[in-house]
């Protein structure tokens, strides 16, 4: 796999603190996609982990590092994306590959910056900002978000304050810091990158941790992050472009959750 191909199509995540493989995918969309340049996809055990092979040759990141993940199950997800490509390669359909690129080239060397970014989401977490009306939205937020807050308190001893509307509420720094062990336990760089995707897509570190801890399924976690948007869609309806965006974000969210499970063994 050429260096130019990986650079042009999977990005280099030049700003690790704002690293977001989902954003990278959007930037990667181009009018013309590259032709598939390989026939066989496989994985093999290596010192770096289980690495991806294209026609028997190791695939590499932009920085020429082996495209490898820590477990066979995780590498199989990677391989499945490459095997599923047709005559053209569409990076938008390869969320695990995008996460792997980001993890290998950047997250591995900037873990603290990524952890800090996830904790910053917790400081203004989506689930802490509640509507005062209408009653249907109030009820939806409570149904989707109250279990997330309960999990944060039960698992991490982190109690978060609520605010009505968009008025900022300053969270106790101790509550935010209590989440750090839950984030740091995702030791492989790819796991941390996947947790970051769950956070950025949902707009909530607390939802991301609930999914990572197995309290919420991927779909339930995604729905929790989309409560406000879905309420608006119910009121006004959705156009085709909005529906496509939602489907793409859901696919990214599911892929990140699946990668976390695969890395956990």
For residue 141, the domain's CATH number is 1.10.3580.10
**239 lies in some domain:** yes
Same structural domain, 54 and 163? no
Domain that holds residue 36: 3-91
**Residue after which a domain boundary falls, among 91, 120, 136:** 91
When the pLDDT of each residue in the chain is averaged and rounded to a whole number, the result is 90
At 25 the pLDDT is 53
Same structural domain, 207 and 177? yes
pLDDT mean over 31-56: 94
Q: Cα(183)–Cα(258) distance, rounded to whole angstroms?
A: 17
**104 lies in some domain:** no
At 23 the pLDDT is 58
Task: Tell whether the model's pLDDT for residue 113 goes beyond 50.
Answer: yes
Q: Can you give the pTM of this predicted structure? A: 0.89
Answer yes or no: are the C-beta atoms of 170 and 122 closer than 8 Å: no
Q: Cα(131)–Cα(140) distance, rounded to whole angstroms?
A: 10
Pairwise pLDDT comparison (243 vs 13), residue with the higher score: 243
Q: Cα(175)–Cα(66) distance, rounded to whole angstroms?
A: 38
Same structural domain, 117 and 214? yes
CA distances from 163 to 127, 133, 151, 190 (A): 10, 13, 19, 34
Same structural domain, 83 and 138? no
Answer yes or no: are the C-beta atoms of 81 and 93 closer than 8 Å: yes
**67 lies in some domain:** yes
Structural domain tally of the chain?
Answer: 2
Same structural domain, 69 and 118? no
> What are residue 39's phi and psi, to 5 degrees?
-115, -50
Find, among 230, 249, 265, the residue nearest to 22 by Cα. Answer: 249
Pairwise pLDDT comparison (10 vs 237), residue with the higher score: 237
pLDDT mean over 258-264: 97
- What residues form DSSP beta bridges with 129? 163
At 27 the pLDDT is 55
Same structural domain, 169 and 252? yes
Confidence category of residue 235, pLDDT binned at 50, 70, 90: confident
Task: State the DSSP code for 226.
Answer: T
**235 lies in some domain:** yes
For the stretch 177-227, pLDDT in tens is: 999 999 999 999 999 999 999 999 999 999 999 999 999 999 999 999 999
**83 lies in some domain:** yes
At 12 the pLDDT is 45
Answer yes or no: are the C-beta atoms of 264 and 211 closer than 8 Å: no
Same structural domain, 85 and 120? no
For the stretch 151-167, pLDDT in tens is: 999 999 999 999 998 89
**98 lies in some domain:** no
At 24 the pLDDT is 54
Same structural domain, 86 and 134? no
């Amino acid at each position: 796999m050429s260096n130019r191909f990986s650079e042009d199509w999977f990005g280099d995540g030049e700003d690790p603190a704002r690293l977001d493989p989902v954003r990278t995918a959007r930037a990667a969309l181009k009018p013309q996609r590259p032709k598939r340049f390989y026939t066989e996809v496989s994985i093999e055990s290596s010192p770096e982990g289980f690495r991806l092979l294209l026609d028997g040759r190791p695939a590499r990141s932009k920085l020429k590092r082996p495209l490898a993940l820590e477990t066979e199950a995780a590498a199989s997800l990677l391989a499945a994306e490459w095997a599923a490509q047709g005559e053209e390669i569409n990076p938008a359909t390869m969320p695990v590959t995008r996460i792997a690129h980001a993890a290998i080239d950047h997250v591995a060397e900037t873990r603290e910056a990524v952890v800090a970014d996830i904790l910053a989401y917790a400081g203004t977490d989506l689930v802490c900002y509640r509507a005062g009306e209408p009653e249907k939205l109030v009820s939806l937020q409570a149904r989707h978000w109250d279990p997330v807050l309960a999990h944060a308190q039960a698992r991490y001893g982190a109690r978060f304050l609520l605010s009505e509307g968009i008025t900022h509420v300053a969270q106790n720094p101790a509550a935010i810091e209590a989440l750090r062990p839950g984030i740091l336990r995702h030791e492989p760089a790819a796991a941390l990158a996947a947790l970051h995707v769950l956070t950025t897509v949902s707009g909530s570190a607390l939802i991301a941790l609930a999914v990572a801890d197995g309290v919420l399924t991927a779909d339930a976690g995604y729905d929790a992050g989309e409560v406000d948007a879905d309420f608006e869609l119910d009121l006004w309806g959705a156009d085709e472009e909005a529906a496509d965006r939602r489907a793409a974000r859901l696919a990214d969210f599911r892929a990140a959750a699946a990668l976390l499970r695969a890395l956990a063994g």
